[in-house]
Structure 1
Amino acid sequence: MELAELLSKMETEGVIHGGSEVNKAMVAVSNETRRLCAHLNTGVYTNEEIRQQVSQITGQELDEGFSLFVPFTADFGKNIKLGKNVFINSGCRFQDQGQIIIGDNSLIGHNVVLATINHDFDPFNRGTMYLKPIVLKERTWIGSNATILPGVTVGENAVVAAGSVVTKDVAPGTIVGGNPAKFIANVEDKIK
């Protein structure tokens, strides 16, 4: 199965059944992505070399403002869309089968997990994966060790506090934190 067809099926169907042709095609892409991530994470590279390697992982040309500190792990890679001037700190893990979209000028802290998959609750059907995208709008700031779960959109200018688990959408211009993440303040109230 060609990548374009695989991405289309993943987006339109929103589910991958264990052992299916879609699952096999996804695993093949994931195997290559693991190899590319291992190469990225085991060398010393310039910012330009890192951008080139992340471009291979995502299949997307990245702008000069993109910056990433290794290590970095993507489960699939080809369903990550990165805006301009995005910064990703070390230790981040992106489970992107359901799609991860990161808007311009966004900051991702250390050890952030973006997870776009849920498995079936039926213990005899756990190989089935349900996919929902994560969208980080422009100028979002995701604090260290935060986890964002499938289907969440973080609005423009929003901040997710360190260590938070985000289970539902975050309104633009707000700060959320905790487990599960809840409203803390408006960003404009913190600007001096």
Structure 2
Amino acid sequence: MSGKEKIFYERGTEELKLKTTVAQKLVRELNHCDIEDEEKKDEIIRELFGSAGEKPSLEANFQCDLGYNIHVGDNFYAGYNCTILDMAEVRVGHNCMIGPNVGIYTAGHSITPKDRNKTGYAIPITIGNDVWIGGSCVILAGVTIGDHSIVAAGSVVTKDVPPDTVVAGNPAKVIKSI
């Protein structure tokens, strides 16, 4: 992890339920849009996300917690079944592509059962420009992925990824420089 500050939150509060309900209604609407209605999809993405650059694109079955903590640059693409647990900010640069079945998780929890059910924490995630994240990857809380990097399919990213590198594995490790 990059030393980013943890954000703590109480699970199950009325305020959190309200915020997630608003997001889930927009997510449902987005996932049921006519596949050819790009204008409507763009409108919903802009209402759901905190900010979006030019030409954001999400395939079906997208999921998120709050939506407003997600900020994406120009030409953002996420494949089928992308899940972003955005209890903290997720910032994605320009020209990023995310393969199918990718999970981006800012949220975490205590390891003690007593505390695990009451509070959670979240740490922001940053994904640089021109990054490719292969299918079925998991990006964990607090990670920064540097510009121009590639995360190979099936990788679990637990630590920062330097710019201009290819990482692979569980946990993901640098396998080459670009």
Matched AA of 2:85: Q
**SS of structure 1 residue aligned to 2:126:** strand
The answer on whether the counterparts of 2:5 and 2:123 sit within 8 Å (CA) in structure 1 is no
Matched AA of 2:164: G
Matched AA of 2:9: I
User: TM-score w.r.t. structure 1 length?
Assistant: 0.84
**SS of structure 2 residue aligned to 1:125:** helix
Rg larger for? 1
Change over 3 Å in CA distance of 1:172–1:119 after alignment to 2? same
> Equivalent of 1:34, from 24, 44, 54?
24
The CA RMSD over aligned residues, in Å, is: 1.7
Shift of 1:13: 6.6
Change over 3 Å in CA distance of 1:122–1:84 after alignment to 2? same
Matched AA of 2:63: T
Question: Are 1:110 and 2:100 matched, yes or no?
Answer: yes
Shift of 1:97: 0.8
Shift of 1:85: 1.2
Alignment of 1:145-184 (within 5 A): 145-184=136-175
Cα distance in structure 1, aligned partners of 2:90 and 2:15: 19
Shift of 1:59: 4.1
- 1:96 maps to what in 2? 86
**SS of structure 2 residue aligned to 1:81:** strand
Shift of 1:12: 7.5
Once the two structures are aligned, what percentage of the paired residues are identical? 35
Cα distance in structure 2, aligned partners of 1:179 and 1:59: 31
Shift of 1:65: 2.3
Matched AA of 1:122: T
Query: 4+ runs of 1 displaced by more than 4 Å?
Result: none
- 1:120 maps to what in 2? 110
Matched AA of 1:68: L
Which has the larger helix fraction? 1
The answer on whether the counterparts of 2:84 and 2:104 sit within 8 Å (CA) in structure 1 is yes
Matched AA of 2:77: F
- 1:17 maps to what in 2? 10
Q: Deviations for 1:65-111, whole angstroms, at most 9, x for unmatched residues? A: 22221121111111001111111111100000111100011111111
The answer on whether the counterparts of 2:165 and 2:175 sit within 8 Å (CA) in structure 1 is yes
Shift of 1:123: 0.2
Question: Are 1:134 and 2:120 matched, yes or no?
Answer: no
